[in-house]
Amino acid sequence: GNSVTQMEGPVTLSEEAFLTINCTYTATGYPSLFWYVQYPGEGLQLLLKATKADDKGSNKGFEATYRKETTSFHLEKGSVQVSDSAVYFCALKGNYGQNFVFGPGTRLSVLP
């Protein structure tokens, strides 16, 4: 079945550091890929998405490119802020039915 693997956390960075959170997937067909963010005490919010190979999703300075050849969708940000501290979830939605799969989440802490 479909699955998502994320790098283990927690990730701790200093403010203005470069961020990469790795995400790889296994899926049949051509899934859509998503990054969700969960701030403390809140529900998950969609951060960005990509629906086909080579698409780049971007939002709030975050970017991720759908790489079919490496089955990856790594999240990047050039300069993180303290306010980016949250848990980040990679997810995919398969072509068939509501096959939405979330990764385990990666906790990011950004220190001033």
Partner 1 sequence: DAGVIQSPRHEVTEMGQEVTLRCKPISGHNSLFWYRQTMMRGLELLIYFNNNVPIDDSGMPEDRFSAKMPNASFSTLKIQPSEPRDSAVYFCASSEVTYEQYFGPGTRLTVT
- Cβ 91 vs Cβ 101: under 8 Å: yes
Residue among 112, 65, 62, 50 nearest 88 (CA):
62
- Is the Cβ of residue 12 or residue 45 nearer to partner 1 in the bound state? 45
Prior bond of 10 cis (ω within 30°): yes
β-strands 75-77, 62-65: how paired?
A: antiparallel
CA torsion angle for 101, 41, 83, 56 (degrees, to 10)?
20
Give backbone dihedrals phi and psi of 84, rounded to 5 degrees, phi first.
Answer: -85, -5
**Contact residues for partner 1 (CB under 8 A)?**
32, 34, 36, 42-46, 49, 89, 93, 97-98, 100, 102, 104-105
CB 15, min distance to partner 1, A: 26
- Is the Cβ of residue 97 or residue 112 nearer to partner 1 in the bound state? 97
- Is the Cβ of residue 47 or residue 110 nearer to partner 1 in the bound state? 47
CB 20, min distance to partner 1, A: 21
CB 108, min distance to partner 1, A: 16
- Is the Cβ of residue 17 or residue 63 nearer to partner 1 in the bound state? 63
